[in-house]
A and B are shown apart, each in its own frame.
Chain A
Amino acid sequence: MTALTPVLRGEIRKALATPTLWWLLLGTIAIGVAGTVAPLVAANEDAADHLSDRDLQGAMHGAAAGVILVIVAGIIGMAGEWRFGQASQTFLTSPLRRQVVAAKALVYAGVGLAFGAAADLACTATAWTWYRMDGVALPVGRSAVWLTLLGCLAVAVAFGLLGVAIGAVTRNQVVAIVGTMAWLVVVEPILFELSSSVFRWLPGTASLALRRMPAPHLLAPATAAVELIVLTAALLAAGTWLVRRDDVTT
């Protein structure tokens, strides 16, 4: 057992005991299902047209429509320590603060994996049912389906880590959640409209590429993955440095 193991176990218990996490899971699944159905309804095509790569990606990438809530979970997991005065007790138990940040990063990467897998399953079941009602079978063996689902899973894991990193940098839960939501839902889409070639590198837009959203001007999925890894690692390093440096006075 390494020194990190008990910290990790404690953080897993902490996450599982927090009711908000389970509501966020339900929200992730519900938005994912809605994100799958919406493009199928909007397409209004013959059943056979649903089998094009573009339509399949359009439906399946919706599984990640709700993973923005994984960022919220990560932020709550990290910045929430300062909201309710948990930080003092946490660092009294585990005084090596970098271990606490590392444990939270691992836990919320796992949360992202679980949320992403649940959303992928719900999305696949929904699409399968929808296609069946149209008299065609969902071709789950096609790369347009499984690569898209894999991309959604990767985005969920990245967002879990990103949430912890943002929480560590800000250590203010409300500011972090409101700021992140506003950035991803409002600011990034506007910037992308202004200049897609420049602003496709922004993290939210890169995540659309990673989940293979069928839209022009996005990065290649592999490039988007590298960009998200570099950004998340940089933010986690900055957050860890700040958490170690600053006094805990609450």
Chain B
Amino acid sequence: MRSHAAPPIACRNLTKRFDRPEPAVDQVTFEVPAGTIVGFAGANGAGKTTTMRMILGLVRPTAGEALVDGRPYQDLDHPRRMVGAVLDGPGAHPGHTGRAHLTILATAAALPHPQRRVGEVLELVNLTEHAGRRVGGYSTGMLQRLALAAALLGDPQILILDEPANGLDPPGILWMRTLLRQLADDGRAVLVSSHLLGELAAVADRILIIDRGRLVADTTLDELVDGGRRTLEDAYFELAGGVS
């Protein structure tokens, strides 16, 4: 049952074990409030992507729960209108055009006026000029923009973005920072992962740090850097350990 007071994203004791004895994600608990950008930091393999996939219903938790607006993702009535996600590229067939890819998603999501909405998000991510080209010919930056366009298709209140800056050039990164800030200022909840600490420091209001599956920090950026007396990098290595 949906609760109107429920936070946009809530994970409680979220745990995932794959085939190895040590858990990939170990009793992770956090919330992402509305109007906030929460940065999710951690080394490769620390558990960021698995956590995000559990929130999105793609990976089944071994224990605990991940809720979106108070419900498991699978129980959302119109998931694309509620949540937008970037996961490891756009997930498009290389033979499809960018426009066709977005139209397929908009159609399956039963979005009203799908063609118009596809045009709007293509414009938003500056891909209109390349919309008729096959995705197989896109550069890495264009693929990332297409993935963002797909995430924004349903004009969702919640965004879950796994390494969205990967492949973007410096103007693209700046553009994305501005976009994320606008989206959060509109009241949206944004969970964004990165292993680039500087990138997270530039956009996030709160920071989660995950290390070997365990959440070792869930605090504001200001608290984490101790009011500017240390860098995010220093705080990260203090909490998550040194170079492995």
Give A residues with C-beta under 8 Å from B: 1, 5-7, 9-11, 13-14, 17-20, 80, 84-96, 247-250
B103 located at the interface, meaning its Cβ lies under 8 Å from any Cβ of chain A in the complex: yes
| Beta-carbon contact of B53 and A92 below 8 Å | no
The residue on B at minimum CB distance from A19 is B95
| Beta-carbon contact of B105 and A95 below 8 Å | no
- Residue in B90, B93, B105 whose beta carbon sits within 8 Å of that of A10 in the complex: B105
| Beta-carbon contact of A9 and B108 below 8 Å | yes
CA distance A47 to B66 in the complex (A): 73
| Beta-carbon contact of B100 and A85 below 8 Å | no
Q: Say yes or no: A92-B80 contact (C-beta < 8 A), given A86-B93, A247-B60, A248-B58.
A: yes
Shortest CB-to-CB span from B108 to chain A, Å, is 3
Chain A contacts for B59, CB-based, 8 A: 247-249
Instruction: Mark out the residues of chain B between 95 and 143 whose CB falls within 8 Å of any chain A CB in the assembled complex.
Output: 95-97, 100, 103-105, 107-110
| Beta-carbon contact of B97 and A17 below 8 Å | yes
| Beta-carbon contact of B80 and A13 below 8 Å | no
- Residue in B58, B100, B110 whose beta carbon sits within 8 Å of that of A13 in the complex: B100
Inter-chain CB contacts under 8 Å: number: 92
- Residue in A14, A90, A91 whose beta carbon sits within 8 Å of that of B57 in the complex: A91
How many of chain B's residues have a CB under 8 angstroms from any CB in A? 33
The residue on A at minimum CB distance from B100 is A17
| Beta-carbon contact of B104 and A250 below 8 Å | no
Q: Say yes or no: A84-B85 contact (C-beta < 8 A), given A247-B53, A248-B59.
A: no
Q: Say yes or no: A95-B100 contact (C-beta < 8 A), given A88-B91, A89-B105, A89-B150.
A: no
Chain A contacts for B96, CB-based, 8 A: 14, 17-18
- Residue in B85, B97, B103 whose beta carbon sits within 8 Å of that of A92 in the complex: B85
Chain A contacts for B89, CB-based, 8 A: 85
Given contacts A86-B92, A88-B53, A247-B59, 13 further A-B contacts (CB under 8 A): A5-B110, A7-B108, A13-B104, A14-B96, A17-B93, A84-B91, A84-B94, A86-B91, A88-B88, A89-B91, A89-B105, A92-B57, A96-B74
